[in-house]
């Protein structure tokens, strides 16, 4: 018997060790998080902040590994939502623009000249329309958790100052892969060219395209002016909120405590990033001007000319987005 017990002991130790190892791995978990921009930009910083908060509050048992530059979808930012829905990506801090091909309701934020300022954006994301948008995202197979912000998108070009729609006539403007952007710039007389972010700066440098539209943070950090973009028009023609979201199977596999932790960390990271993005805008604009960029700011009459020129876009896209959602957003902005 003594000999038999001696022979059994190593096996028992091995089995016990294996069980302990499995238990440890079951407790510690890493989720992949996709972003389009790195932590040189507020967008990427939002994802890193989320990761830091989750790691700290979970004691390292739940961690987020951020993959910037859309590398999990080979640079094709419009595939991010589908990849997250299918489980190829666990989570993302993504753009309403990039996800709009799969969630048409997200085009609400891309309606030209619909939301005039950050107060309007906050009213929509924090109101009935924001809830409807999150419901739409969830119905398409992804769990939304919190809002962030990429900011109002401004227009730059290498040719001339732009302060009226006619100034855009014939200009080749890089846009993201959204039909709404194509329709907006076509309505303004430009020649919109769909292009990934990775290809944009080289195309600007070579003159393959004349201009682009992006928030000040992107223009500043990416040094778009170095690609010959000497003219910048501040027109706030649309806003691009960010959304923190998770694959539903991943979400369903988490405990209630982990879900609460993940959501609250996303909400805190989002609020932090929104405040930071807005606070930095005056400094970014001053830096852009100091580098010799001609900045054009529209007066009320000039702004109204762009609004009128893009009214047909609203007529076409309102039904696609959902008239009920558009009206809810209007009511939110009016404080109703």
Tokens 């008239």 locate to 323
- Give the model's confidence band at 3: pLDDT under 50 very low, under 70 low, under 90 confident, else very high: very low
Number of domains in the chain: 1
pLDDT at 6 > cutoff 90: no
SS (H, E, C) 59-91: CCCEEEEEECCCHHHCCCHHHHHHHHHHCCCCE
Predicted confidence at residue 27, as pLDDT, reads 61
To the nearest whole number, what is the mean pLDDT of the chain? Answer: 92
pTM score, two decimals? 0.89
User: Alpha carbon of 142 to those of 33, 90, 121, 138: distances in Å?
Assistant: 13, 10, 22, 5
Tell me phi and psi for residue 68, to 5 degrees. -80, 180
**Each residue of 62-109: pLDDT tens digit?**
999 999 999 999 888 889 999 999 999 999 999 999 999 999 999 999
Helix residue spans in 160-196 (DSSP H): 179-187
Over residues 228-241, the mean pLDDT reads 97
Supply the CATH number for residue 134's domain.
3.40.190.170
pLDDT at 201 > cutoff 50: yes
Tell me phi and psi for residue 117, to 5 degrees. -155, 175
- Judging by beta carbons within 10 Å of its beta carbon (0-12, 13-18, 19+), is residue 50 exposed, middle or buried? buried
What is d(CA 173, CA 209) in angstroms, rounded to the nearest whole number? 6
Tokens 């846009």 locate to 175
Q: Is residue 7 part of a domain?
A: no
What is d(CA 278, CA 151) in angstroms, rounded to the nearest whole number? 8
What percentage of the chain carries pLDDT values higher than 90? 87
Q: Is 214 helix (H, G, I), strand (E, B) or coil?
A: strand
Q: Is residue 10 part of a domain?
A: no
- Judging by beta carbons within 10 Å of its beta carbon (0-12, 13-18, 19+), is residue 6 exposed, middle or buried? exposed
Whether residue 209 contacts residue 230, with contact meaning beta carbons closer than 8 Å, is answered with no
Over residues 148-159, the mean pLDDT reads 97
User: Alpha carbon of 202 to those of 30, 176, 207, 210: distances in Å?
Assistant: 35, 15, 8, 12
Q: Is residue 5 part of a domain?
A: no
Whether residue 184 contacts residue 204, with contact meaning beta carbons closer than 8 Å, is answered with no
Q: Is residue 14 part of a domain?
A: no
DSSP 140: T
**Domain containing residue 65:** 30-333
**186 CB contacts (<8 Å, ≥6 apart)?**
192
Over residues 34-49, the mean pLDDT reads 96
pLDDT at 18 > cutoff 50: no
Distance, C-alpha 53 to centroid of its chain: 19
Over residues 298-323, the mean pLDDT reads 96
Tell me phi and psi for residue 240, to 5 degrees. -125, 85
Higher pLDDT, 72 or 21: 72
Over residues 39-61, the mean pLDDT reads 97
What is d(CA 29, CA 277) in angstroms, rounded to the nearest whole number? 31
Over residues 234-246, the mean pLDDT reads 97
Q: Work out the widest C-alpha separation in the chain, in whole angstroms.
A: 98
Whether residue 74 contacts residue 230, with contact meaning beta carbons closer than 8 Å, is answered with no
What percentage of the chain carries pLDDT values higher than 70? 92
Over residues 232-257, the mean pLDDT reads 97
Of 31-40, 61-70, 197-206, the one with minimum mean pLDDT is 197-206
- Give the model's confidence band at 196: pLDDT under 50 very low, under 70 low, under 90 confident, else very high: confident
Q: Is residue 197 part of a domain?
A: yes
Whether residue 209 contacts residue 153, with contact meaning beta carbons closer than 8 Å, is answered with no
pLDDT at 59 > cutoff 70: yes
């Amino acid at each position: 018997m003594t000999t038999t017990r001696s022979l059994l002991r190593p096996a028992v130790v091995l089995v016990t060790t294996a069980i302990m190892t499995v238990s440890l791995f079951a407790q510690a978990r890493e989720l992949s998080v996709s972003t389009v921009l790195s932590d040189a930009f507020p967008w990427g910083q939002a994802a890193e902040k989320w990761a830091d908060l989750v790691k700290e509050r979970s004691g390292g048992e739940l961690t987020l590994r951020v993959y910037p530059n859309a590398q999990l979808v080979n640079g094709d930012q419009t595939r991010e939502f589908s990849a997250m829905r299918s489980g190829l990506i666990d989570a993302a801090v993504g753009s309403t623009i990039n996800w709009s091909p799969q969630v048409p309701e997200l085009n609400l934020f891309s309606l030209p000249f619909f939301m005039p300022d950050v107060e309007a954006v906050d009213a929509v994301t924090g109101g009935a329309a924001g809830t409807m948008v999150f419901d739409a995202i969830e119905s398409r197979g992804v769990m939304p958790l919190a809002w962030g912000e990429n900011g109002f998108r401004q227009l730059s070009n290498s040719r001339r100052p732009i302060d009226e729609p006619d100034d855009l006539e014939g200009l080749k403007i890089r846009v993201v892969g959204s039909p709404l952007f194509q329709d907006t710039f076509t309505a303004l007389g430009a020649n919109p060219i769909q292009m990934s972010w990775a290809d944009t700066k080289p195309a600007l440098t070579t003159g393959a395209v004349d201009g682009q539209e992006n928030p000040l943070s992107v223009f500043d950090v990416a040094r778009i002016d170095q690609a010959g973009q000497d003219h910048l028009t501040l027109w706030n023609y649309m806003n691009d909120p960010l959304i923190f979201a998770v694959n539903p199977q991943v979400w369903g596999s988490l405990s209630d405590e982990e879900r609460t932790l993940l959501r609250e960390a996303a909400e805190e990271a989002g609020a932090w990033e929104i405040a930071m993005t807005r606070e930095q805008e005056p400094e970014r604009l001053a830096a852009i001007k100091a580098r010799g960029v001609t900045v054009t700011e529209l007066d009320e009459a000039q702004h109204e000319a762009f609004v009128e020129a893009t009214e047909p876009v609203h007529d076409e896209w309102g039904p696609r987005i959902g008239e009920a959602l558009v009206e809810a957003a209007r009511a939110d902005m009016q404080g109703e």
